[in-house]
Structure 1
Amino acid sequence: MSQDPTESIIEILLNKSTVKQKTYRKVCKAFKQLEKEAQQLIEVLSAKTIDRDQDVKLSVESISKQEFHIRVAGDLLVFVLHTNIITLPEDYEYNKSSYVTDQPLRKYLGQINVYNFMADSFEFNRLNDPGYLLARLLINSENYFIVEGDRQVGFMFKSAAAKELKNVDLNILIKLIISQAAENDLVVPPFPNIRNITVREKLEKTQSLGAGNKIGFQMSYQNETKS
């Protein structure tokens, strides 16, 4: 009869549970600091813009322990802390690095996702308006991190090899995210595509008729879909 694997199973479960709990504590701490960095940056931006244009709306709003929003003019950046600890696909570069292969428990990650919406989508309750994933911050139990993102965000944090997370990294990430959202303009659909509308569309989407999409994200994600 083969040896009873009960003790081995218990050990694996305990090891994973300990690492996942530690990982979650690290990502929660980073999320709080990220919100603090956002508050500080928005205060600086507000002080520098209020005399020039009081209509430029800049604010940070805490929604819950797992969510906060940054309003930057017409954009709303939604930061979401996920409560589940995840792993990346096995063929992901991070998982193939010596950092992870030397200690497989390092593959468990907490995640913070950043979505870009049009602020009017929330203000006018336009439920069908899309939001786009702008960046993803992943942190493990040792407080090492990687960042995924488009354009500037992806370029600045292009290495998949994790490194220890510092407050300066969060400060840079916040600035890049706000900068990227501000630089992406809206592009309306081609004229023939919006020539005809139904009464239902008029009644249900009055505020969104003629609304555009973020050009940078539209191009990026459409290209991914086509490939």
Structure 2
Amino acid sequence: MSQDPTENIVETLLTKSTVKQQTYRNVCTAFKQLLEEAHLLVDVLSAKTTERDQDIKLRVESINDQEFHIQVAGDLLVFVLHTNVITLSDDYDYSKSEYVLEKPLRKYLGQINIYNFMSDSFEFNRLNDPGYLLARLLINHENHFIAEGDRQVGFMFKSASSKPLEKVDLNILIKIIITQAAENDLMAPPFPKIRHISVREKMEKTQSLGGGNKIGFQMSYQNGQ
């Protein structure tokens, strides 16, 4: 007669549950720290820019416990805390790293996604305007982290951190993200695509006519990959 697996199931459930709960606590703490760092950085930027141009909009807005926004001129950075703890697929470098293979429970990650929208999209309720994922911050139960993103983000934070997440890491991440958003401009759609419109389109989307996409943020699916 085979041994009853009940106790093994219970132990597995308890272990995974404990790890996932600690992971979620860590990502919640990081989200609050991101909000604090955002306020501090925007205060500094506001003080420096107001001297030369008082019309540049810089502000931080807390939406709820899982979302806050940073407006930087015409850009709106949207920070979203996901309530689910996830794992990455086996083909990720992180999943194949010695760090995870040594202790598989390190694979469980909390996530914060950071999107870039045009601020006018929200102000004028342009529901069809696109947003772009700039970065994703992933944190495990040991408070070690990786960050996915284009250019500097992917270059600096791709590998798992050798030490727990600190406020200085979050400060650097926010600065890089704001820089990337500010450096990428709008590109108008080709003239033939906006040559004809219906009366309904005019009535429903007056504010969005001729709106553009952000240069430099073409997602992989747009290339057919």
Question: Please, what TM-score do these two structures have when normalized by structure 1?
Answer: 0.96
Does residue 1:199 correspond to 2:199, yes or no? yes
Q: Which residue is equivalent to 1:64?
A: 64
Q: Which residue is equivalent to 1:157?
A: 157
CA contact (8 A) 1:94 1:162 kept: no
Q: Which residue is equivalent to 2:223?
A: 225
CA contact (8 A) 1:37 1:170 kept: yes
Opposite residue 112 of structure 1, the aligned amino acid is I
Question: Please, what TM-score do these two structures have when normalized by structure 2?
Answer: 0.96
Give a deviation string over 1:114-163, Cα, whole Å, max 9, x none.
000000000000111111110000000000000000122212223x2333
Structure 2 regions of 5+ residues with no counterpart?
Answer: none
Give a deviation string over 1:182-215, Cα, whole Å, max 9, x none.
0000000011111111111111110000011001
**Distance in 1 between the 2:221 and 2:125 partners?**
29
Does residue 1:52 correspond to 2:52, yes or no? yes
**Distance in 2 between the 1:138 and 1:184 partners?**
25
Identity of aligned residues (%): 75
Where 1:216 maps in the other structure, the secondary structure is: coil
Given the superposition, is the C-alpha separation of residues 3 and 61 from structure 1 closer, same or farther in structure 2, using an over 3 Å criterion?
same
Q: Which residue is equivalent to 2:180?
A: 180
Shift of 1:168: 0.8
State the superposition RMSD in angstroms. Answer: 1.2
CA contact (8 A) 2:144 2:160 kept: no
Structure 1 residue runs of 4+, over 4 Å off? none
Shift of 1:225: 2.9
Give a deviation string over 1:5-28, Cα, whole Å, max 9, x none.
111111100000000000011111
Structure 1 regions of 5+ residues with no counterpart?
Answer: none
Q: Which residue is equivalent to 1:41?
A: 41
**Distance in 2 between the 1:47 and 1:189 partners?**
36
Q: Which residue is equivalent to 2:80?
A: 80
Where 1:63 maps in the other structure, the secondary structure is: strand
**Distance in 2 between the 1:94 and 1:222 partners?**
20
CA contact (8 A) 1:57 1:73 kept: yes
| Number of corresponding residues | 224
**Distance in 2 between the 1:168 and 1:182 partners?**
21
Shift of 1:222: 5.2
